[in-house]
Chain A
C-alpha cells in the first residue's frame, strides 16, 4: 500500500502529461488511440529451455511463448492473439487481461505445441500471430514465424 501511495504523485503527473497530449475532439469523431506493441517469440523445448527465434522445430518444441511488449498502453484492456495457420485459417484465439499505468507492459501467452494438433496434423509452414487490443478488428501488430519439422 505504501508503495502504491508513493506512486500516486508520479501517476498524477503522468495524467497531466497525457491530458496535454490528448487530441482535441474538435467536433470530429475522435481517433482511436493507436497503441504500439512488439512481439517476441520464444520456443520452449522438452527440457524447459527457451530460445528466441522466428523458426521452430516442432519435434523439439514443447510450447511457444508469445511475448507482447506494449509501449503506449494506459488503463485496463484485453489483449487478443489470433494465430493464423499456413493455409490462412484462424487456428486459435487467446485472450488475456493487460493493464498499465506507465504505458509499458509485457504479456506472455503460452501456446502448447507438443502433442497438440500442430504436431498431430503437421501444421508446418509460415504462421502469423495478430495482436489485437480489446474488441478491435484491426491488429495493433503482427508477427510471422515458422513451424518446421
Chain B
C-alpha cells in the first residue's frame, strides 16, 4: 500500500472542503444561482402532482323528478377535486346545490326547448357523504354526474373556464370554441348538454367520464349531458372542442374548464424526531413549523410516503404503513400498541394552500418497542445517531444526555418523557454531560461537541448558550467544572467574584493536531476565558495531543489532571497536572497514549490512569510534585487496555474496571513503592477477571453493572464485586444493538444507551 503525504497547509485545516475544478465557492454559488434563474432549471425542482381522473358517478333516467341524487364517485379521497355537471329543463328552474359545492358556471340557453347547464366543484374532505342531492324548483327533465380528480391545485383549482351555447340552433354538433390554458399539465374537462335524450361522442382526444339522459334514448324529449376529460401538457388555446350527439338535433349548452395541477415546492423536514416507548404506547416528538403526518409500521418502511394533494386521516393506509397522526402539534401519544413489537415511525411535515405538499420524512426514522411493566421501564430514541454515553443525573427526577444526533436531551426519569424540546448543538457530543448548580444560581448542563464548541443548557427550560472555543476544532472529552462553593480560599483569592470555572479540552483533528491541543478555563457567568493551557499563539508551549478522557478536578490541591494521547511518536507527555488557578503545569508524565479518564482515590492521594498499551499507572499525589506510585505499571498487554475509567471499591485501593478484551477485572493497589502484578487475584475472587464479551464501562452499585456486546446481542451484566461472579445477563431492548456505558440516578436503576440512539431505563435488581 502506498502512502501519500499531503501538505499541512491551510486547506488541510478545514474539516470539510469543497474541491471545485474551476471556481471558488462564492463565484460558483453565484453562477449556479444564475443558471437556475436563466434556464428555469430545476435546481430545487418542485414536484408536480399530475392531475388524474379517479372515477365518475352519474344519474340516468331521472325523468322530471325535482331531486337529482348522485353518489360520491367510487374511491374518492380527501384532497380530490369533484366536478359536477347538472342539466335541467326549463332554464328558469331554480337549482339548489348541496352544501359545500361552488357554482363555477350556470349556462342557460333560453331559446325554444330551453335548458340550463350548471357546473360545480368541491374539494373532497376526509369524510364525504355517500351521495349529494341537487333540487329543482321545477323540472321537465334533469340529468347529471360527478367526477373526482386527484392532483389538483387545491387553492386555485380552475385555471381557465368558458361557457357556450348553440343559441337558437338545433343541432347534433356542439362546437365549444375552446379555452386557452395558462399553466402546463392541466386537465381539460368539458360538459355538453342538449334538450333531447341521446348519447354523445366526445371531442377528439378526450375520454368520456359520464353520458346520461333524463329519458331512455333515443328520445326527442328530456335532456342529456356528457362530461369528458383529457390531460393537456401544453399551455395555450385548445382550439374548438366538438362533441356530437347521436340524433334528435336540439339546442344545447356547453362548458369547458381546465383544472390546474398541484405544484409542490420543497417542504422542510422536521428539526428533530424522538420517541418514548412505554407499556402499550409510544409518545412521538418532533419540531416543525408545519403540521405533520406521522406514519407507523410494525416493520421497516419500504418506501411508503404520503401522496401530494391527498388529505389523510389517522387510520388511513399508505402501502403497508398506517397513518398514526395528522395535525399541528409537537407530539402525540400512540396508544394500543402491542408490547414486545418494534414499531417504526416516520414524520412528514406538510404545507397547505395549495396542498397538502409533504416533506420526504428524511431524518425522522424512529423505532419504539413498548414492553410490559418489568425491569425495562421505558426507552427513548432520538433519530439521527448513536448514544453510547449514559444519561447523567441532575436535579431530582431528571436525567440528561446527548449523542451523535447533536441534541441535548432532558428526560423525566419516571416515564421517559421529554422535559423540554432538545436544543441543537453544531455537531456530535460524545463526552459525558455534566449537570451542576452554579454558585451564582441556576442549574446548567455542560457539554462540548465535535465542532469545538462548549454549551451550557439551562436545565429548567432548555435554553442553550454556545461558546466557540478559540483554537479548538473538536471537543471529545466531557466538561469539568470547579465549583466555588466547594473550593478553598485559594480559589476565591484567584477568582474574585461569584462565578465557577469550567474546564474544556480539545481533541483537534486538523492542523498540528498531535501538538496543538489545549485546556481552556472559562468563567460560568460570562463565558470569558480565564486561562488557556498550551494556547499555541504565537507558538505552542507544550506538545499536547488529543485529549479524550474527562479531566479530574482536585479541589483540595487546586489541580486538574488531564490525560492525552502521546503524539505521533508515542513519546510525548500524556498526563498533565495543571494548577487550576492559573493553568500552569505542575508536572507531566510520558505514559504513552491515554484515551481514558483519570480517577482520584477516595483518600485523594492516588490517581489511577490506564493507557492504550494496557498499562495501569498509579500517581502519588501527596508530594508537592506528584510522582509515580509503583515501581512500574500494572501491565496487562495492549489487548487488555482499560476502558473508560476505574472504580475504586469500598475496600480502599481495590479497583474494578473493564478491559478491551472483554473482561471485568479486579486489582488491589499494592501501595507506594510496590510492584503491581497482573497475576494478583483480589480476595474473594476466583480469578483475576470475569469474562464479559465487549464489556463497557460500568457503574458500581450493589453490583458492578456493565454493558456487553458479543457481536449479536446487547446485554447488561451484574457482577458481584466481592466475588467476581456474574449474574444472568439482561437483554437490552430487543438485543440487536450494541450497548454503551452505564449510569444511574438513585442507584435503584441503570441507564444505558445504544448505537441506535436509544436510551433505556432498567430498574434494579435484575431478574
A: which residues have CB within 8 A of B?
A: 3-4, 7-8, 11-12, 14-15, 18-19, 22, 24-30, 32-33, 46-51, 53, 59, 62-63, 74-76, 80, 85, 87-93, 96-102, 104-110, 112, 114-117, 119-123, 125, 132, 134-138
Q: Give A89 to B660 CA distance when docked, in angstroms.
A: 22
If A33-B42, A110-B15, A114-B565 touch, does A53 touch B47 (CB 8 Å cutoff)? no
| B28 at the A interface (CB under 8 A) | yes
Given A25-B184, A135-B362 in contact, is the A7-B430 Cβ separation under 8 Å?
no
Given the complex, which residues of B lie within 8 Å of A12, measured CB to CB? 38
B30 / chain A contacts, CB cutoff of 8 Å: 4
* Nearest CB in chain B: distance from A11 CB, A: 6
Q: Mark B721-743, 1 if CB is under 8 A from A, else 0.
A: 00000000000000011101000
B45 surroundings in chain A (CB, below 8 A)? 30, 32-33
Is A115 within 8 A of B548, CB to CB? yes
B738, A121: Cβ atoms under 8 Å?
yes
**Which B527-583 residues sit within 8 Å CB-CB of chain A?**
546, 548, 565, 568
**B450 at the binding interface (Cβ < 8 Å):** yes
Asked whether A87 and B738 contact (CB < 8 A) given A29-B50, A109-B16, A121-B696, the answer is yes
Given contacts A46-B514, A49-B6, A112-B450, 9 further A-B contacts (CB under 8 A): A8-B34, A30-B45, A74-B43, A75-B32, A80-B362, A96-B16, A96-B18, A102-B22, A112-B509
Q: How far is the CA of A102 from the CA of B384 in the complex (A)?
A: 32
Task: Categorize the interface residue count of chain B.
Answer: 35 or more
Contact string against A for B residues 460-501, beta-carbon threshold 8 Å, 1 for contact and 0 otherwise: 000000000000001010000000000000000000000000
B596 → chain A, closest Cβ, in Å?
Answer: 9
Chain B CB within 10 Å, residue with most, of A14, A24, A98, A115: A115
Contact with A along B694-705 (1 / 0, CB 8 A): 101000000000
Whether A93 lies near B405 (C-beta < 8 A) is yes
Which stretch, B66-74, B190-198, B752-760, touches the partner chain A? B752-760
Q: Distance (Å) between the CB of A76 and the closest chain B CB?
A: 5
7 nearest A-B residue pairs (beta carbon): A75-B43, A115-B548, A89-B755, A27-B231, A15-B39, A106-B19, A92-B404
Kindly report which residue of chain B lies nearest to residue A89, judged by CB atoms. B755
Distance of A49 Cα from B12 Cα, bound (Å): 12
CB A78 to nearest CB in B, in angstroms, measures: 10
Q: Mark B20-32, 1 if CB is under 8 A from A, else 0.
A: 1111010111111
Say which residue of A92, A96, A99, A119 sits within 8 Å of B385 (CB atoms): A92
The verdict on B453 contacting chain A, using a C-beta distance below 8 Å, is: no
A132 shortest CB reach to chain B, Å: 7
Q: Is B233 an interface residue when CB atoms closer than 8 A count as contact?
A: yes
Query: Which residues of B are found within 8 Å of A96, using beta-carbon distances?
Result: 16, 18
> Contacts A85-B386, A122-B694 known; A137 to B4 CB distance under 8 Å?
no
The answer on a CB contact under 8 Å between A116 and B430 is yes
Chain A residues near B360: list those with CB within 8 A.
135-137
CB distance from A3 to the nearest CB of B (A): 7
Q: Does B266 contact A (CB under 8 A)?
A: yes
Question: Out of A8, A62, A98, A107, which one reaches B513, CB within 8 Å?
Answer: A62
Option from A30, A89, A112, A114 in Cβ contact (under 8 Å) with B754 = A89
CA distance A132 to B384 in the complex (A): 14
Contact (Cβ within 8 A) B38 A120: no
Q: Which residues in B have their C-beta under 8 angstroms from that of A104?
A: 21
Q: Does B414 contact A (CB under 8 A)?
A: no
Are B359 and A15 in touch, CB under 8 angstroms? Answer: no
In the complex, whether B428 has a CB less than 8 A from a CB of chain A is yes
Contact sample, A vs B, 16 pairs, CB 8 Å cutoff: A3-B23, A3-B27, A15-B39, A22-B42, A25-B48, A29-B49, A46-B514, A47-B568, A75-B43, A87-B755, A90-B384, A91-B386, A91-B755, A110-B15, A123-B755, A134-B266
Bound-state CA distance A104–B5 (Å) is 25
Q: Does B650 contact A (CB under 8 A)?
A: no
Q: Given the known A-B contacts A29-B49, A30-B48, are A135 and B41 also in contact in the complex, defined by CB atoms under 8 Å?
A: no
Could you tell me if A107 and B32 are in contact, using CB atoms closer than 8 angstroms?
A: no
Q: For the complex, is B373 an interface residue (Cβ under 8 Å from A)? A: no
Contact A87–B430 (Cβ < 8 Å): no
Closest to A22 in B: B41
CB-CB under 8 A from B384, the residues of chain A are 90, 92-93
Does any Cβ of A come within 8 Å of B388's Cβ?
Answer: yes
Q: Are A74 and B35 in contact (CB under 8 A)?
A: yes
- The contact of A137 among B361, B383, B474, by CB within 8 Å, is B361
Give the CA-CA distance A49 to B8 in the complex, in Å: 10
A28 touches B50 (CB 8 A): yes
Give the chain B neighbours of A22 by CB distance below 8 A.
41-42
Bound CA span A9–B748, Å: 72
Which residue of chain A lies nearest to B29 when distances are taken between CB atoms in the complex? A99
Distance of A3 Cα from B23 Cα, bound (Å): 8
Residues on A with C-beta less than 8 A from B48 are 25, 29-30
Contact A4 B43, CB 8 Å, known A46-B514, A136-B360 = no
Give the residue of A50, A105, A138 whose beta carbon is less than 8 angstroms from that of B6.
A50
A121 touches B740 (CB 8 A): yes
Q: Are B476 and A75 within 8 A (Cβ)?
A: no
Contacts A4-B27, A4-B31 known; A115 to B362 CB distance under 8 Å?
Answer: no
B33 CB–A CB distance under 8 Å: yes
Does B38 lie within 8 Å of A91, measured CB to CB? no
* B residues less than 8 Å from A120 (CB atoms): 388, 548, 595, 643-644
Task: Report the Cα distance A29→B159, complex, angstroms.
Answer: 18
Which residues in A have their C-beta under 8 angstroms from that of B365? 90
Bound Cα distance from A15 to B35, whole angstroms: 7
Report how far A111 CA is from B16 CA in the complex, Å. Answer: 10
Contact of B41 among A7, A19, A121 (CB under 8 A): A19
Q: In the assembled complex, which residues on chain A have CB atoms less than 8 Å from the CB atom of B757? A: 89-90
Give complex CA distance A127, B184 in Å.
Answer: 46
* B507 CB to nearest chain A CB (Å): 6
A105 touches B18 (CB 8 A): yes
In the complex, are the beta carbons of A100 and B385 less than 8 A apart? Answer: no
Q: Does B42 contact A87, Cβ atoms closer than 8 Å?
A: no
Residue in contact with B39 in the complex, picked from A19, A88, A98, A112, CB distance below 8 Å: A19
Q: Which residues of A contact B4 (CB under 8 A)?
A: 49-51
- Asked if residues B23 and A7 are in contact (CB atoms below 8 Å), the reply is yes
Residues of A within 8 A of B6 (CB): 48-50
Q: Output the nearest chain A residue to B707 by Cβ-Cβ distance.
A: A121
Q: How far is the CA of A18 from the CA of B616 in the complex (A)?
A: 64
Known A-B contacts A50-B3, A62-B513, A101-B28; the reply to A119 vs B362 at CB < 8 A is no
